[in-house]
């Protein structure tokens, strides 16, 4: 697509805003201002109002209808006197002036900017250099000679930090940047490093950054056809099983998108939009399958604002989400989504979803169940390599078991869910340590006592879950273990201490449930 058409295509989605934005000169008062000349732009009260509006973010407007009129906004109501004054006004862009100031003296100067128009640009000369702070400002256009401290002050205008703003731009129409080194001469070299980079350098970095992503995908055997075909894309996800491979892909893609964010909206970046969309979708599918990110989800917030605007439509939407199973095995629709996949992809999805569920939800709440089911996951993968239908069937049964909060076990019958988890953990710890013996017939009576003393300790206001609090809790638990007949088999008390610390850590991880017990819930 020809360059101008590409710009129009990208701008089309913002046409509602583009119809409404305005550009405002901020002109210093001069001799002519005594006669009302250019009063619209020289009156300090109006200047302050324009600057305040410039500092505001653009409104989020609904898209314009394709039949929307070309008028930006409804023009302000005008009186005949104001219209006459406007016709005869000595505007900077008008030279057909006759008796320019007579009408000014007869009435008030009309408001030249509609009150609903967002102000996108301030046009100044030797104005707003000191005492002016606009963190939202991102682009500075220079079209006159400027040097020294004035140049540094001007450039600093786009260097203020602001949420969503990662970089500022200076468009130099006059060629004043040759004076920048002189202006920076008084600063330390460390402060000057990477102060400013030429856009041409950023543009030259686009292709190497894109080539790094292409080379990595080529080495993995991922082709362009894989990226554009949903079925082939699902199969290509297997190439990212290795965690180091996923990290290398994330790093290369981040470098590319970071460069693209700095180059946009320059037309050179538009040639890479399709690549960004395909690679972004691939990253989303990889992250959702392997659940690498926090919560197992994928978010566009890692991308820059301009890149997000370019690729969001390609990565979000009902049709995209329908093709990807939910993150959690407990989510509605997980089973239906998995059943719709081919056996190989279904087995991979179920295996990763099950591991994620065990890590995120079971590990802290029920350590014994976590270890038992995790071992069964690994056993399925070890004993059924490449038998994906069998893997899927066995994973399905294991998923049902993982979903059950309360297991039917005669040994824990009559115990509360919290007591059941505590009992299974204690049994596991006893089985793992041959250096701790139980002098009583059963450990079942001990479970309720452990839950009670842990709840009583953690319900105190002084308990904050810090290391010293955990040490205190472990000491209380160890005392209860000893009182209930648990003893070291020899002279080494370390195994019993370790058991008490593990139980204390479990209680602290499930503090909410133990506090509920203390309240009688």
* Residue-wise pLDDT tens digits, 353-408: 998 888 888 887 788 888 889 999 999 999 998 899 999 999 999 998 888 865 55
DSSP state of 146: -
Cα separation, 324 vs 288, whole angstroms: 8
Banded model confidence at residue 275, pLDDT cuts 50, 70, 90: very high
Cα separation, 411 vs 415, whole angstroms: 9
pLDDT of residue 300: 63
Q: Compute the average pLDDT of residues 80-101.
A: 47
Query: Using an 8 Å Cβ cutoff, are 88 and 97 in contact?
Result: yes
The interaxial angle of helices 494-509 and 511-518, nearest 10 deg, is 80
Token pair of 408 as six digits: 């039917």
Backbone angles phi, psi at 152, to 5 degrees: -65, -40
CA distances from 436 to 186, 493, 494, 498 (A): 72, 9, 10, 10
Token pair of 55 as six digits: 């500092």
Place of tokens 């989605």: 13
Is the bond leading into 219 cis (omega within 30 degrees of zero)? no
Banded model confidence at residue 98, pLDDT cuts 50, 70, 90: very low
Q: Is the dihedral of CA 153, 156, 158, 162 positive or negative?
A: negative
Place of tokens 């990208």: 10
Question: Does 209 have pLDDT greater than 90?
Answer: yes
Q: Is 415 helix (H, G, I), strand (E, B) or coil?
A: coil
Query: Using an 8 Å Cβ cutoff, are 313 and 359 in contact?
Result: no
Q: What is the mean pLDDT of the chain?
A: 80
Banded model confidence at residue 93, pLDDT cuts 50, 70, 90: very low
Token pair of 431 as six digits: 């089985």
Is the bond leading into 265 cis (omega within 30 degrees of zero)? yes
Burial class (CB in 10 A: 0-12, 13-18, 19+), 380: buried
Sequence-distant (≥ 6) Cβ neighbours of residue 33 within 8 angstroms: 39, 42
Q: What is the 3-state secondary structure (H, E, C) of 43-69?
A: CHHHHHHHHHHHCCCCCCCCCCCCCCC
Q: Compute the average pLDDT of residues 490-515.
A: 89
Q: What angle do CA 268, 172, 94 make, to 5 degrees?
A: 110
Cα separation, 488 vs 183, whole angstroms: 75
Q: Which of 303-307, 314-318, 516-520 is least confident?
A: 314-318
């Amino acid at each position: 697509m020809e360059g101008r058409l590409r710009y129009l295509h990208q701008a089309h989605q913002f046409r509602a805003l583009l119809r409404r934005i305005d550009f405002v000169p901020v002109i210093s008062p001069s001799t002519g201002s005594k006669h009302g000349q250019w009063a619209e732009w020289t009156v300090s009260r109006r200047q302050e109002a324009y600057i305040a509006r410039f500092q505001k973010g653009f409104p989020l407007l609904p898209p314009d209808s394709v039949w929307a009129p070309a008028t930006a906004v409804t023009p302000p109501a005008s009186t005949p006197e104001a219209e006459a004054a406007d016709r005869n006004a000595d505007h900077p862009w008008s030279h057909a002036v006759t008796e320019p100031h007579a009408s000014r003296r007869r009435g008030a100067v009309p408001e030249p900017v509609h009150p609903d128009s967002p102000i996108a640009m301030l046009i100044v000369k030797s104005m707003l250099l000191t005492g002016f702070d606009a963190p939202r400002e991102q682009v500075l256009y220079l079209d006159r000679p400027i040097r020294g401290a004035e140049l540094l002050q001007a450039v600093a205008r786009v260097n203020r930090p602001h949420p969503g703003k990662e970089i500022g731009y200076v468009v130099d129409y006059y060629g004043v940047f040759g004076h920048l080194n002189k202006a920076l001469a008084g600063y330390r070299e460390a402060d000057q490093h990477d102060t400013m980079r030429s856009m041409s350098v950023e543009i030259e970095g686009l292709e190497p950054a894109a080539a790094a992503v292409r080379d990595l995908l080529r080495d993995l055997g991922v082709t362009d056809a894989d990226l554009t075909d949903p079925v082939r894309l699902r199969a290509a996800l297997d190439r990212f099983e290795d965690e180091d491979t996923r990290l290398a892909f994330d790093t290369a893609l981040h470098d590319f998108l970071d460069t693209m964010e700095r180059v946009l909206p320059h037309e050179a970046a538009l040639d890479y939009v399709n690549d960004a969309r395909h690679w972004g979708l691939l990253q989303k599918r990889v992250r959702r399958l392997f659940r690498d990110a926090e919560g197992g989800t994928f978010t566009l917030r890692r991308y820059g604002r301009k890149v997000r605007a370019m690729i969001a439509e390609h990565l979000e939407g009902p049709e995209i989400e329908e093709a990807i199973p939910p993150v959690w095995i407990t989510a509605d629709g997980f089973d239906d989504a998995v059943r719709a996949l081919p056996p190989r992809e279904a087995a991979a999805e179920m295996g990763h979803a099950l591991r994620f569920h065990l890590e995120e939800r079971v590990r802290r709440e029920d350590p014994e169940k976590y270890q038992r089911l995790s071992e069964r996951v690994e056993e399925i993968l070890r004993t059924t390599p490449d038998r994906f239908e069998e893997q899927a069937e066995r994973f399905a049964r294991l998923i049902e078991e993982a979903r059950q909060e309360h297991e039917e076990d005669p040994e824990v019958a009559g115990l509360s869910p919290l007591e059941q988890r505590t009992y299974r953990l204690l049994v596991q710890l006893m089985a793992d340590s041959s250096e701790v013996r139980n002098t009583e017939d059963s450990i079942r009576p001990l479970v309720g006592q452990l839950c009670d003393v842990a709840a009583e300790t953690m319900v105190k206001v002084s308990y904050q879950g810090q290391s010293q609090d955990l040490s205190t809790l472990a000491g209380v638990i160890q005392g209860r273990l000893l009182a209930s007949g648990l003893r070291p088999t020899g002279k080494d008390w370390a195994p019993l201490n370790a058991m008490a610390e593990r139980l204390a850590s479990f209680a602290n991880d499930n503090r909410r449930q133990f506090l509920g017990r203390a309240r009688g819930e």
